[in-house]
Amino acid sequence: MKIAVIGTGYVGLVVGACFAETGNDVICVDKDAAKVRMLRRGRIPIYEPGLEELVRRNRQEKRLTFTTRLPEAVRKSEVIFIAVGTPTGEDGSADLQHVLTAATEIARAMNGYRVIVDKSTVPAGTSELVREVIRRETTHPFSVVSNPEFLKQGAAVEDFLKPDRVVIGATDERGARIMTELYQPFTRTGAPIMVMDCASAELAKYAANAMLATRISFMNEVAMVCDRFGADVDQVRRAVASDRRIGAAFLFPGVGYGGSCFPKDVKAILKFSADRKYRFRILEAVESVNEAQKLRLLEKLDRHFGKSLEGKRIGMWGLAFKPRTDDMREAPAIPIIRGLLARGARVQAFDPEARDVAKRIFGGKVTYSRSAYDAVKGVDALLVVTEWNEFREPDFRKIKRLMRAPVIFDGRNIFNPQQIRELGFTYGSIGRP
C-alpha cells in the first residue's frame, strides 16, 4: 500500500519505518526542515533501539522517503497517518491545533478517496472534528479512522512490530477493511485487531495510560506507608505482583512518572471528563501523588544536609524520563535539578543518551559528565534518577574512592541496601528500610 505519515517524531518515524518494513511504500512528512534533512542523510534525530537500522534498510530499498512537502505525499498515498504532537494546552486539555492543521492540509491536497488515520493521542470526539474539517475542504470521498498508538519509548519498534492489540475506530466498512489489511502482518501471532466506534478507540488509549499512571502512583503511596512501618516495598511488591489478577508490570515505586505521554494524557482525561461534568477523582490523586513524588530525593537530601546545599556538589545518574530513550519531556530529573540549583548545589550529571537534550534545557548550569564514574568525582552525594541497566552493577569501591562523601539516594531502588551499607555508604531509597 502507499502510505504517508504526517509528523516524524517518536511515533511517526517508528510507524513509518515499520510499515515500510512490511513492504509498503511510505512517505514520512515533517514540517521541521532540519529534521527531514537529517533523515535524508540517513541520520536519526532521536534515540530508539533498533530504529536506525530499520530506517537505513528501508531507505536503501527505497520504500521509505522523507519530505517537507505534505501535498505531494498526500497525492501519492492512499492511507495518511496523522502522528503530530498533541501537547497540553493552557487549560490542561490536549491541544489539537497540529492535528487539525494537518487534517486541513491533507484535505486541500486530496485528489481522490483517502483513509485519514488519527494516530496521535486525541480526546474522544476528535475524529468527528477531523471529519468536519476535511468535509469543509474537499468534495472527494474519505474515511477517518482512529488508530491510537500503544508503543512505549525504549521498545517502540518491538512494540509496533509485535503489538498486544491493534485498536481501530471506524465509522465505515471501507476504512476499517483497509486498516485491518494494513495491520495483518503484525498480528499473525494472534494479537487481536479490535474494530470499534471512534470514541471508544480514542478513550481506550487514555484509559490505558491512566491505568498505568495509577499503578505507579499507587505503588509510590504504598512505599510511603512502608516507610512509616519499616516495611520493605520490594517484598510487598513481589507478593502483590504474583497475584495473577494484578500482575507485575508498572508496580515499581520511584521518583514519579514522566515522559511525553502519562503526564499530558492524565491531564487531558481530567479536563475532557470535567468538560462533560464528570470529576475523575482517582486521576486527580494520581497526578498530585506524582507531583509530590518527583521531590522525594530532594526531601532526602534536605534531611541529610539541611536546607542549603551551598558549596555541595551532587552527582546524578540518569536524566531521561526512563531508560533506553533520550527523551526528557516531563522527566523527574528536571524538577530535581531545578531544586538542587535553587539550594545552591553544583550538579554533575551523566546519562548514556540524554546529554544533548539536557544541554538544551539547562545549558551551562549543569556539568555533563562523560561516564557514570566521572559524575561521582568529588561529589557529596549521588542521586540515581533513571534506572539504566549500566547503573545496576557498578564498582562501589571505586565509587566510594571517587566521591567526597559516600552518600547515595537511589530513586529507583536499583541497589541492594544491605550490601551497599556494608560497604560503608549512607544509603536511602524509596520505601525500603
Can you tell me whether residue 195 is helix, strand or coil? strand
User: Grid coordinates 497526578 are at which residue?
Assistant: 287
- Answer yes or no whether residue 83 interacts with ligand NAD by CB under 6 A: yes
- Answer yes or no whether residue 79 interacts with ligand NAD by CB under 6 A: no
DSSP 141: -
- Answer yes or no whether residue 8 interacts with ligand NAD by CB under 6 A: yes
Q: Is the dihedral of CA 338, 341, 345, 348 positive or negative?
A: positive
For residues 34 and 40, what is the distance between their CA atoms, to the nearest angstrom? 10
Nearer to ligand NAD (CB atom), residue 102 or residue 168: 102
Q: Which of 3, 4, 10, 214 binds ligand NAD (CB under 6 A)?
A: 10
Closest CA to 406 of 304, 337, 310, 332: 304
CA dist list (Å): 402 to 151, 267, 376, 405: 39, 42, 6, 9
- Answer yes or no whether residue 51 interacts with ligand NAD by CB under 6 A: no
User: Smallest gap, in angstroms, from Cβ of residue 415 to ligand NAD?
Assistant: 28
Q: Which residues contact 137 (CB under 8 A, 6 or more apart)?
A: 104, 107, 108
- Answer yes or no whether residue 413 interacts with ligand NAD by CB under 6 A: no
For residues 74 and 67, what is the distance between their CA atoms, to the nearest angstrom? 11
- Which residue number is nearest to ligand NAD in terms of Cβ? 9
Stretch that binds ligand NAD, among 24-32, 195-203, 296-304, 425-433 (CB under 6 A): 24-32
Q: Which residues contact 284 (CB under 8 A, 6 or more apart)?
A: 270
CA dist list (Å): 287 to 106, 262, 269, 331, 415: 36, 10, 11, 14, 27
- Interface residues for ligand NAD in 135-174 (CB under 6 A)? 149, 151, 153
- Interface residues for ligand NAD in 258-297 (CB under 6 A)? 260-261
Site string for ligand NAD, 214-253 (x = CB under 6 A): ----------------------------------------
Q: Which of 4, 5, 12, 372 binds ligand NAD (CB under 6 A)?
A: 12
- Answer yes or no whether residue 39 interacts with ligand NAD by CB under 6 A: no
Q: Which three cell numbers stand for residue 87?
A: 501537547
User: Smallest gap, in angstroms, from Cβ of residue 261 to ligand NAD?
Assistant: 5
Q: Which of 3, 16, 25, 35 binds ligand NAD (CB under 6 A)?
A: 35
For residues 348 and 24, what is the distance between their CA atoms, to the nearest angstrom? 46
Residues near ligand NAD (CB under 6 A), total = 27
Stretch that binds ligand NAD, among 98-106, 139-147, 337-345, 386-394 (CB under 6 A): 98-106
Where are the alpha helices (H) located in 247-332, listed in sequence order? Answer: 262-275, 281-293, 296-305
Q: Which residues contact 301 (CB under 8 A, 6 or more apart)?
A: 309, 314, 340, 343, 381, 383, 409
- Interface residues for ligand NAD in 355-384 (CB under 6 A)? none
User: Smallest gap, in angstroms, from Cβ of residue 369 to ligand NAD?
Assistant: 27
Residues annotated as catalytic (active site), given as ranges? 261
User: Smallest gap, in angstroms, from Cβ of residue 379 to ligand NAD?
Assistant: 32
User: Smallest gap, in angstroms, from Cβ of residue 94 to ligand NAD?
Assistant: 7
Q: How many angstroms separate the most distant Cα atoms in the chain?
A: 74
Q: For residues 266 and 281, is the Cβ–Cβ distance under 8 A?
A: no
- Interface residues for ligand NAD in 118-137 (CB under 6 A)? 120-121
User: Smallest gap, in angstroms, from Cβ of residue 409 to ligand NAD?
Assistant: 28
Q: Which three cell numbers stand for residue 70?
A: 505534505
- Answer yes or no whether residue 102 interacts with ligand NAD by CB under 6 A: yes
Nearer to ligand NAD (CB atom), residue 151 or residue 204: 151
User: Smallest gap, in angstroms, from Cβ of residue 42 to ligand NAD?
Assistant: 18
- Kindly list the residues in this chain that would bind ligand NAD in the complex (CB under 6 A): 6-12, 29-32, 35, 70, 83-86, 98, 101-102, 120-121, 149, 151, 153, 260-261
